[in-house]
Amino acid sequence: MYHYIFLPELVGVALVLILQATGVFCILRGPAAEAPRWITRIIELAALGSFLLIAFTFLLRFHRVGKYASAWWLGPFRGLVYTWALLSVLGVLAFAISRVLPRIRPDYSPARRNFLRTAQIALLGAPAAVVGYGVFVERSRVSVREATISSPDLPEDLDGLRLVQLSDIHLSPYLSEQELARAVEMANETRAHVALVTGDLITLQHDPLDACLAHLSKLRADAGIFGCLGNHEIYTGTEDYAEKEGARLGIRFLRCAATRLTFGNAHLNLAGVDYQRFRKPYLVHANKLFEPGAFNVLLSHNPDVFPVAARQGYRLTIAGHTHGGQVRMEILGQDLSIARFFTPYIDGLYRIGSSSVFVSRGIGTIGLPVRLGSPPEVALLRLCRT
């Protein structure tokens, strides 16, 4: 009845549950073996609860159950599920390593035993410490990142033009209005010529979309505020409302539409499209938005449209969606993140010929209320001639 695209998620859920069961079994047979019975009962109930939460979250992906995903109280629980899943995987790995360490070159030296005991404690605490840093420190460490976009086709009067971008806000229980207000303030401090919003204003249907739009309307730029819509506007069925209410507040969302901005004697054609994921080919109608003789810029939440946009003549595509991977790490010179499985355009600037795409890490989070190796940002793009 359901499409096979859910198979990878089912496998992932099964693996997480197996790892959790293994971890709980090891704890009950190991450190908690001599603990009072009420402690073991708490561990068992916590494990059972986490299993049910993960299974329930997976069921939300199916159409018959997914309608309940908009319930306001599910937001924190979904994040808790993903966080617990990550902690489980890291915790089981750390536990396994801590059990192997004492068996390497056995030595009955008291000093070595103390060292190994300390190492075991550190390993078991490391996953919680890492996730805690991502939740309470890096997730809220918003900064302004500047990028220079060079193009041989840039008119002289557009040289030095500044575009400020806010993306993937996800105003929800994991991003407060105060944090969004601070990001808007940081964007205004750049004194940009154009302010851009590239989708995913909220996460779930009952998240505060009105409050998000009200804060974004406080962006200040010479030419105004423009944007495109993301996949979460589609999931929550708020595309039309966001467009209408945004227009009332002075934010123009470009939904397969374009507008001409004039700076001196030069024209910048700013086009925008709604999020497009499964319906290929990409940008079927975007070629009609292209303006010959102008410098053409495309707003698209999904960066995967970039190769098509470049072929159509857009010299700059501005996107988001990936959160920069949200959780990234570098191992042996390789940049690792889940986003690499879905797109080659994860974070920052990419080029094809004389065309560029800039992918913002965004501000908010999805699933896990954590960021590691991918801090939130306000992006400031400067156009320059080569």
d(CA 306, CA 349): 11
User: DSSP letters of 280-318?
Assistant: PSS-TTGGGG--TTSEEEEEES-GGGHHHHHHHT-SEEE
Phi–psi pair at 172, nearest 5 degrees: -165, -170
State which H helix or E strand residue 113 sits in: helix 110-136
Task: Give me the sign of the Cα torsion angle 7, 11, 14, 20.
Answer: negative
d(CA 171, CA 201): 6
Please indicate whether residue 244 or residue 113 has the higher confidence score (pLDDT).
Answer: 244
d(CA 14, CA 51): 10
d(CA 197, CA 209): 14
User: Measured in Å, how far apart are the chain's first and last C-alpha atoms?
Assistant: 55
In a 13 Å sphere around the CA of 284, the CA atoms on its Cβ side amount to 6
pLDDT at position 184 is: 98
The string of pLDDT tens digits covering residues 169-186 is: 999 888 889 999 999 999
Q: With beta carbons less than 8 A apart as the criterion, state whether 143 and 176 touch.
A: no
What tokens were used for 59?
């069921």
Q: What is the largest CA-CA distance in the chain?
A: 82
The pLDDT confidence band at residue 95, using thresholds 50, 70 and 90, is low
- The dihedral region occupied by 241, where left means phi > 0, alpha psi between -120 and 50, and beta the remainder, is alpha
**pTM of structure:** 0.73
Closest CA to 195 of 221, 172, 213: 221
pLDDT at position 242 is: 98
pLDDT at position 96 is: 62
The string of pLDDT tens digits covering residues 136-146 is: 556 678 999 99
Phi–psi pair at 349, nearest 5 degrees: -100, 135
pLDDT at position 23 is: 60
Q: Omega of the bond prior to 281 within 30 degrees of 0, cis?
A: yes
What tokens were used for 322?
């990936």
pLDDT at position 111 is: 65
pLDDT at position 18 is: 63
Please indicate whether residue 340 or residue 317 has the higher confidence score (pLDDT).
Answer: 317
Please indicate whether residue 104 or residue 382 has the higher confidence score (pLDDT).
Answer: 382
CB neighbourhood size of 347 (10 A): 23
Closest CA to 251 of 166, 174, 191: 166
State which H helix or E strand residue 182 sits in: helix 177-189
- The dihedral region occupied by 224, where left means phi > 0, alpha psi between -120 and 50, and beta the remainder, is left
d(CA 272, CA 140): 29
| Residues β-bridged to residue 202 | 171
pLDDT at position 256 is: 95
The full set of domains in the chain, from first to last, is: 4-136 (no CATH), 144-385 (3.60.21.10)
pLDDT at position 125 is: 56
- Find which of 43-47, 174-178, 378-382 is predicted with most confidence, using mean pLDDT: 378-382
DSSP label at residue 108? -
Q: What is the mean pLDDT of residues 336-347?
A: 83
